[in-house]
A = this chain, B = another copy of it.
């Protein structure tokens, strides 16, 4: 029996997850039945949405139970195939890779990964979920107009780094919020015009004002938290806020988020604040990847 060391959820974290929340267990290499693929894991993606899946709280993605194998997006090589659509040696992407060397995934969840145009792991980043999230949240949900200022939090993250580049390509004025000066420098190299370091800022509202002298027209909110306040207080009339993530709340995931509520500001600016989940846009992935 070949070993297949596998990460198993042992406890639900109550604040920030630690390695104590998982156990590494040796499991047998599984076999693919009809409609399944046995894949060898080459790349795994650890994404913010997983924080919700390891919480017992109700969420948009079904949660893991204690003792469950951790699953997530991955890219791997087909070792054996129970589907006429795939054959051994092909590289595929699926959202159901186990955190283990050898996994069985449903063939229906797998997509062939082209390895000629980009590194295969791009299927987990700019050609995959984060890239599509950036594309649809910015262009479809926020509906920016030419020249508008787009503030993006977690700007150097998987979604933000793509959103800033899309904003630049589409003739918008992207401004980054990130947690180190190095990240901000990198953001500028990618196309962001300006940036705000939310960790060293003494006055986040004023720093966003300085970085966005024409105000904020669109805010791609990957974080919630104090950056959300700074964006709301700089929001122009008819501003749009797309709530893509709430990673600033990761250490208090099971507690309500207490803070300033911007309902009057929402009224006064006639802002539109909209929650975003990528799955809602699945029918348009191909159009987006072609754009």
Binding site for B on A (CB under 8 A): 59-60, 221, 224, 228, 243-246, 249, 256-264, 266-277, 280
Contacts and interface: CB of A to CB of B under 8 A. Distances in A.
Given A243-B266, A272-B273, 9 more contacts: A228-B261, A228-B263, A249-B263, A257-B260, A257-B262, A258-B260, A267-B277, A271-B273, A273-B274
29 contacts: A60-B267, A60-B268, A224-B263, A224-B264, A228-B263, A245-B267, A246-B264, A246-B267, A249-B264, A256-B260, A256-B261, A257-B261, A257-B262, A258-B259, A258-B261, A260-B261, A266-B274, A266-B275, A267-B275, A267-B277, A268-B275, A269-B275, A270-B275, A270-B276, A270-B277, A272-B272, A272-B274, A272-B275, A273-B273
Task: Across the A-B interface, give the 7 residue pairs with the lowest CB-CB distance, nearest first.
Answer: A267-B275, A270-B275, A266-B275, A273-B273, A257-B261, A224-B263, A243-B267
A263 B264 CA distance: 16
A244 to B, nearest CB: 7
Nearest to A61: B268
Contacts of A244: 267
A245 B267 CA distance: 7
Most buried by B among A246, A275, A280: A275
